[in-house]
Amino acid sequence: MGRNDNDVQALRRMAGLVTPMALRVAVTLGVPDRLLGRAALVEELAVELDVAPAALELLLGHLETLGIVERTPVGFETTDFGANLRVDAGNGLDDLLHLETAGGRAELAFVELAHSIRTGRTAYPQRYGQDFWADLAEHPALRAAFDRQMTYRFHAQLPQIVDGYDWSRYSTLVDVGGGQGSLLAAILTAHPGMHGHLVDLEATAADARRTFDAAELGERAQVTAGSFFDPLPTGADAYLLFDILHNWDDEHAHRIVRRCTEAVRPDGRVLVIEGIGGMRAGSESDLQMLVIFGGRERRIDEFRALTAPHGLVLDTVIELTDQRCLLEFRLTAS
């Protein structure tokens, strides 16, 4: 096989949809969980899952090639490698791949990537008829899956995020759109002199309250149910936007930043943590933000352009992890 043939084969592998979809369907059907430690014949499993036996055998055959399942004398069984796909694996893969969760559903919007490239707008409504956030608001199960996924996505990086910045400079910190509260809880636990205030939508805010109760943070952690497009709790030393702005186009990002600058103390700070274009954001993430949300991984100069109209000046850039940077902004007059 010549060099060009090798290139063609490599490109075919890159472009192939068979394996990504086979993994997603396997997770959606619950195959890794069902076959974990309990081998089953194809006919038996097909009845349990209510699927076509011949088609299921084709799926299991490909999963065997991938090392997800293996054949035994009594049927197919999940391998140790495949066990990473089980629901309780604690790695977020189930919420990312399951076709009926927020993450798995969102990635299917990539079939409309051409729409996003032509228009510069999100592809999600092109596939589902409404934007991602409206979908979450309408379907509580999607919202719950999204919240879990957002918690998983940075769990391993929590120590770096907590240790990589001097959070103790602030006596009060508002975590804007702070999700289930794991980051704010870690910061407050590491710095007993701090008080925190988390703002997120009602269902997510309820989860955050449970997180703070479990961490025994008492009155040091307050929760407000609300949107970051509405006025925020005022007078804190710092307002944190963690993985928020890249989910939004410029119009909505301006509204979020404006709410932070309205609320922060004159000598306070607005902190942005997320992947930065050209620094800690990969090309896949760039396309995900566009297709799913209509946002993007902004570069430093784009953050300056976004924040300057609101009186913010970029003071510091810290590379916290291999995926995220922290941008520290101050008000022009401070």
- Positions annotated as catalytic residues are 246
SS3 49: helix
Q: List the structure tokens of 315.
A: 């003071």
Q: List the structure tokens of 299.
A: 């570069």
Give the CA distances from residue 181 to residues 116, 199, 213, 242, 315, in Å, rounded to whole numbers and listed in that order.
32, 9, 11, 11, 26
Sign of torsion, CA 83 87 92 96? positive
Q: Residue 89 and residue 316: Cα distance in Å, rounded?
A: 37
First-last CA distance in the chain: 66
Q: List the structure tokens of 23.
A: 């993994």
Neighbours of 108 (CB within 10 A): 16
Angle of helix 18-29 relative to helix 53-66, nearest 10 degrees? 110
Find all residues with CB under 8 Å of 139, minimum gap 6, and list them: none
Is residue 222 within 8 Å of residue 235, measured between CB atoms?
no
Q: List the structure tokens of 334.
A: 């401070």
Q: Residue 239 and residue 259: Cα distance in Å, rounded?
A: 10
What region does 224 belong to: left with phi over 0, alpha with psi -120 to 50, or beta?
beta
Closest CA to 273 of 301, 229, 243: 243
The DSSP call for residue 50 is T
